[in-house]
Amino acid sequence: MKSGNLDSPRTPTATSQRPAILAAMPAELASCAPLASCCQTLLTGVGEAAARRAAQVVTASRKTSLLVSWGTAGGLAPDLKPGTLVICTRIVDAASGRRFDTPPELVERLMKILAPLRAVRGVGLSVADAVTTRKAKSALHEAHGCAVTDMESAAIAICACEAGIPFLALRAVIDPAHSNLPTSALAGMANPEQPTRASLAALARRPWELPALCRLALWYRHSLHMLSSAALMMENAPGLFCGKKSR
């Protein structure tokens, strides 16, 4: 359904069965392992096109009640630290300007479940390429007012709307707004099957990036830990994904 340029998915259809969690990188997918017993989990690959193909495969089965964009993100809001969990209330597609709202009732439930992890609400921005400099992050934050950025959520949201099912986006901040991404890290993103090997090969050509790459690796590990902790809490939440429904 549309209201202006605001897109909202419809209520799940009668043929819906269970949620599907989509993640771009193998390590991100591994972080949602506690939810694999009751959710479909799928590795999409990095970027809009890869995410859209994967989401279309899932929704074509008509056995999906909810699409979840799961993984890490770059920070745009200056107050977000590495590891902060952001439950997206809306996704903005930077290319088209389209906006996709997530169901408020699901956002509120997740906020309560993940309160011990200090999760926050925020608007997510989907972009075509990684945002690598603090100058670019600042410009995007000023232009769109978004908290985090990734490259897959809008594509997943579009597929959810086309299928008439709701979607969620849960993202953990890796790099804060004040940081620049080292070039060697981008090589790892371009090779999701072997990101460490690709980053180290690039680092051999840019050894001065070693401190920044080590710092980013620590942030990445922390963000994955937070996602894993979130999955454990969501697994046991009554009526949400895996938890038994409360009477």
Q: Which of 123-132, 178-187, 195-204 has the lowest mean pLDDT?
A: 195-204
* pLDDT tens-digit readout, 126-184: 999 899 899 999 999 999 999 999 999 999 999 999 999 999 999 999 999 999 988 87
* pLDDT tens-digit readout, 45-58: 889 999 999 999 99
- Rounded Cα–Cα distance for residues 214 and 230 (Å): 25
CATH topology of domain 2-180+224-235: Rossmann fold (3.40.50)
Q: What is the pLDDT of residue 115?
A: 96
Q: What is the phi/psi pair of residue 170, to 5°?
A: -120, 120
**DSSP 8-state class, residue 151:** S
- Rounded Cα–Cα distance for residues 247 and 245 (Å): 6
Instruction: Give the predicted TM-score (pTM) of the model.
Output: 0.84
**Is residue 98 scored above 60 in pLDDT?**
yes
Q: What is the pLDDT of residue 24?
A: 92
Share of the chain above pLDDT 90, in %: 65
110: helix, coil or strand? Answer: helix
102: helix, coil or strand? Answer: coil
**Is residue 231 scored above 70 in pLDDT?**
yes
Q: Which of 28-42, 92-106, 180-194, 205-219 has the lowest mean pLDDT?
A: 180-194
Q: What is the DSSP string of 155-201?
A: HHHHHHHHHT--EEEEEEE-S-TT----HHHHHHHH-TTSHHHHHHH
Residue 186 or 58, more confident:
58
10: helix, coil or strand? Answer: coil
Kindly list the domain boundaries of the chain, sorted by start residue. 2-180+224-235
Average pLDDT, the chain: 86
